[in-house]
Structure 1
Amino acid sequence: MVVFFVDTLEFEGLGNRSYLAGGPSAAVVIDPPRDIAQVIAAAARRGVRIAFVAETHVHNDYVTGGLELARVTGADYLVPAGASVAFARTPVADGDTVTVDEGLVLRAIATPGHTPHHTSYALTEDGRGVVAFTGGSLLIGTVGRPDLVEPRLTEQLARAQHASAHRLADELDDEVAVLPTHGFGSFCSSAQAEGDATTIGQERRTNDALTEDVDTFVAEMLAGLDDVPAYYAHMGPTNAAGPAPVDLTPPGRADGEEIASRLASGEWVVDLRSRVAFAEGHVAGSFNFEGQGKLATYLAWLIPWGKPVTLLAETPEQVADAQRELARVGIDRPAAAATGDPADWVRVGEQLASFPRARFADLAQVRGRGEQVVVLDVRRDSERAGGYIDGSVHIPIHELRGRIGEVPDGSVWVHCAGGMRAAIAASLLDAAGRDVVAVDDGFEAATEAGLSLTRPDPDGAG
């Protein structure tokens, strides 16, 4: 019997996974990240040759490293035949097979829905199915969203997702492991996935795509689709054209004068430190996107595409980590960077800016004293639908930069569900000259603090 392995490469910031799978001497990489060094290192640890690189689809949420990985390793680059791409590859159609290693065969299964050309791959060991790499098709408890290609195709693709899920369930045994690319926090998932691992049998019992009729499933999915990150519009075209190799050499070092100059010219200066450190002291006009949060998702979502960005952090390692994360979504080559003491990031004689942080209990006390403050909710529509603070203003974080003028006058207490997005919003408001307080608290604490909440009628009546 062949001894096969599957190594998972997880990218928490984007909510995605890539996979290295193979036998004693050769392997296939499924949906590789832009920064391919870690994939090559994983193969080296296994002592295997990367014989194939396979894409399940042209990705809408990140820049692939597949083309470059295939070039560097000499691997065959497997891309669904229906995908329109501008580079040489090995097109794969439904039913095509490749032998990864002796006794290990990878079979392409057409699973349209997330995209029209989406393809899953079943790995068989001596003829027995063991793993299904399902990309953006069958996920853990859900499926990939169908609305990222063309609005007019959304319902058609949603129905295709239902059919594709059933095809996988019909053709694969219950014990086959399901290994999706999306669904671990990715906005490519049509619903929030629960759990970390699954099988065909488990999905057959619990996944709506496999337990509901197609009309019910489609209606519920379309009603639940959330906002699409703005940068997704750039990912598909970049991947179809063939991404350039990533350049992760360190950016040039900026001093206070250069940082001020870049801010004055309208460039973005992004502080990667914790929201606590940022609130205590930061360069006026800079924005706070925590390096340990969903940096790539939210920075790429909010920044005007192509705008130069300078990174500020405590250490060069934090800059390097952020640079790698941002390259995965096509934000290449920071204009500059600075590390160390924030006091060195401003010009001589200038002071760092700051703003207060608070809890919902503090907000309740302020309201209890009759003070008039603006409460700004920057959660998404779907989150607010579950309940919101009475009298609060709602502007989702990804819309705030263009709608700051709609925020009423006065002190702005900004909150989200946990604190990270509130910190981003507070930095945007602070840079715009507003008096801001960042509420760094879980939303459940709002009720505990005695704040009055409105809970909309699920049927839309109020």
Structure 2
Amino acid sequence: MFFVDTIEVTGLGNRGYLAGGTHTAVVVDPPRDIDRVVAAAARRGVRIGLVVETHVHNDYVTGGLHLARLTGADYLVPADARVSFARTPVRDGDEVTVDEDAGLTLRAVATPGHTPHHTAYVLREGETDVAVFTGGSLLIGTVGRPDLVEPRLTERLARAQHASVRRLAAELPDDTTVLPTHGFGSFCSSAQADGDSTTIGKERASNDALTRDVDTFVADLLAGLDDVPSYYAHMAPVNAEGPAPVDLTPPAAADADEIARRLAAGEWVVDLRNRVVFAEGHVSGALNFEADGKIATYLAWLVPWGKPVTLLAESPAQLAAAQRELARVGIDRPAAAATGGPAQWLRDGETPASFPRAAFADLAGRLPHEQVVVLDVRRDAERAAGYVRGSVHIPLHTLRGRLAEIPDGQVWVHCAGGMRAAIAASLLDAAGRDVVAVDDGFDGAERAGLTTTHA
């Protein structure tokens, strides 16, 4: 008998896997915080004998090298990946034993497309292919995006992606479980996953790479590609160099004077609390990235890379969770941190800053009689499906450098659900603008009669 345990990294939309038999196991695409993987292996009572990477990742820092060194496992990395550390190079067709007693083996299948060196791994029990770890090739209902390596290679890699997915479908039985790394909210996916699990047979019936000819597939894939988070440019080099072990020890504590000093120095002070309580009262100049949102993605996307970050959290548990999330994308050590609330973070005589929240129905009651600025911070693809008439469009990930483009007046900022609007509102508030955060689903704008699809 074999098992497969999923190591969820929900904030980044990724998954790693622990798979094995009675004595030994393999880890596929582990996150940087490997303590979770080690704990999973301990619960199973197995030794980690193999650690494998499907590709050099663009969206997170891998824990593979550290895990292999810690456990003494053999570290398998695609042979054509250019890395600076010792590893076992894997080529198409290579087979390794996972657990001899359980009859488990792993076979490498070259699946270029997401990256030129991408490799999938087929888990075999005896003579049966039972699962395939597809990394960023075949995903649930879609494929990994081909534009993260080099713009001039994008179309070539898209065509390779089509061929790779078809190779997997041709070589594997329909009931083979498909276990991708990306596709659960990750920007490495070319579209959002449709469901939580899949098989080769299900994908054969529904995946565009398996139902469309290559030219149609490539044209549609390239047309649908969205913006790439800026921090991706730093992830692949870190992974190729060999990431340092993660350090999750608590950061230095900051009092109110220290917080004020860091703000005055132009550093980023990030408030992790819920957007509702942040809007009601916060340290002036602090930025709101909710701990329960996609904090790693959006903070790493917006912050100037390498700028010191101080975290403000309502509890030590919230702080520790955020620190773990940020370490996964290379924001290793917060410069300082504090817990509690504005009462602990403000100096004597200072009062909390605040701004109002509203719904699209409230905005409809202000228009067109009052002169307000409506700011849409969604991405281009979202806006193409419909937008608020007369709104200014500046995607959130570009907002920090484009604040001067926003017209004078009170700014009502919205996204699709409220989280990104809260980040944007905090940026505007810190810049001294009069801002209202629209904390509402975009369907509220449609119900209020505010939207159009016309250019």
Whether TM-score is above 0.5 comes out as yes
- The aligned length equals 453
Cα distance, 1:9 vs structure 2: 0.9
Q: Provide the rounded CA distance (Å) in 2 between the counterparts of 1:14 and 1:361.
A: 32
CA distance in 2, matches of 1:450, 1:159: 42
Give the SS at the match of 1:144.
coil
Shift of 1:450: 2.6
Structure 2 spans left out of the alignment, 5+ residues: none
| Offset, 1:94 | 0.2
Confirm whether residue 25 of structure 1 aligns to residue 4 of structure 2.
no
Cα shift at 1:340? 1.1
- Residue in structure 2 matched with residue 83 of structure 1 by the alignment: 81
1:54-203, aligned counterparts within 5 Å?
54-102=52-100, 103-203=103-203
After TM superposition, give the deviation of residue 240 of structure 1 in Å.
0.1
1:168 partner amino acid: L
Paired residue for 1:243?
A: 243
1:42 maps to a residue whose letter is A
Partner AA of 1:41 in structure 2: A
Residue aligning to 1:217: 217
Q: After TM superposition, give the deviation of residue 343 of structure 1 in Å.
A: 1.3
Match of 2:257 in 1: 257
User: Which residue, 4, 7, 15 being the options, matches 2:5?
Assistant: 7
- Partner of 1:195: helix, strand, or coil? coil
AA matched with 1:84 = R
User: SS at 2:18's partner residue?
Assistant: strand
Residue 215 of structure 2 aligns to a residue whose secondary structure is: helix
The CA distance in 1 between the partners of 2:261 and 2:84, in whole Å, is 39
Deviation at 1:152, TM superposition (A): 0.4
User: Residue by residue, what CA displacement relative to the aligned partner does 1:264-310 show, whole Å, maximum 9, x if unpaired?
Assistant: 11110000000001000000000000000000000000000000000
Once residues 187 and 220 of structure 1 are traced to their aligned partners in structure 2, the CA distance between those partners, rounded to angstroms, is: 17
State the match for 1:445 in structure 2: 444
Q: Which residue of 2 aligns with 1:383?
A: 382
Answering whether residue 411 of structure 2 is matched by residue 412 of structure 1, we say yes
Q: Sequence identity of aligned pairs in percent?
A: 77
Distance in 2 separating the partners of 1:327 and 1:439: 30
Q: Name the counterpart of 2:14.
A: 16
Structure 1: distance between partners of 2:302 and 2:159? 32
Which residue number in structure 1 is paired with residue 339 of structure 2?
A: 339
> Secondary structure in 1 aligned to 2:96?
strand
Deviations 1:177-198 (Å, cap 9, x if unpaired)? 0000000000000112210000
Distance 2:343 2:362 in 1: 30
Q: How does 1:298-337 map to 2 (within 5 A)?
A: 298-337=298-337
List structure 1 runs of 4+ shifted beyond 6 angstroms.
none
CA distance in 2, matches of 1:442, 1:359: 8
- In structure 2, the partner of 1:436 is 435
Report the CA distance between 1:342 and its aligned residue: 1.6
TM superposition shift of 1:233: 0.2
Displacement of 1:23 in angstroms is 0.2
Partner residue of 1:459?
none
Distance 1:341 1:200 in 2: 50
CA distance in 2, matches of 1:348, 1:167: 67
TM normalised by structure 1 equals 0.98
The answer as to 2:24 corresponding to 1:37 is no
Deviation sequence 1:193-230 (CA, Å, 0-9, x none):
21000000000000000000000000000000000000
Residue 353 of structure 1 corresponds to which residue in structure 2? 353
For residues 11 and 358 of structure 1, what CA distance do their matches in structure 2 show? 32
Distance 1:167 1:449 in 2: 49
CA distance in structure 2 between the partners assigned to 1:179 and 1:205 by the alignment: 17
Q: Secondary structure at the match of 1:428?
A: helix
SS in 2 for 1:402: coil
Distance in structure 1 (CA, Å) of the matches to 2:117 and 2:344 = 51
2:123 is paired with a residue of what secondary structure?
strand
Match of 2:231 in 1: 231
2:282 is aligned with 1:282: yes
Q: Which residue of 2 aligns with 1:362?
A: 362
Deviations 1:347-395 (A, max 9, x none): 1111110000000010011115x01100000000000000001000000
Deviation sequence 1:391-442 (CA, Å, 0-9, x none): 0000000000000000000000000000000000000000000000000000
The aligned residue for residue 205 of structure 2 is 205
* Separation in 2, partners of 1:127, 1:151: 41
SS of the aligned residue for 2:416 comes to coil
Aligned to 1:217, the other structure's residue is in SS state helix
Where does 1:396-407 land on structure 2 (aligned, <5 Å)? 396-407=395-406
Deviations, residues 162-182 of structure 1 (Å, cap 9, x unaligned): 000000000000000000000
CA distance in 1, matches of 2:253, 2:33: 23
Q: CA deviation at 1:341?
A: 2.8
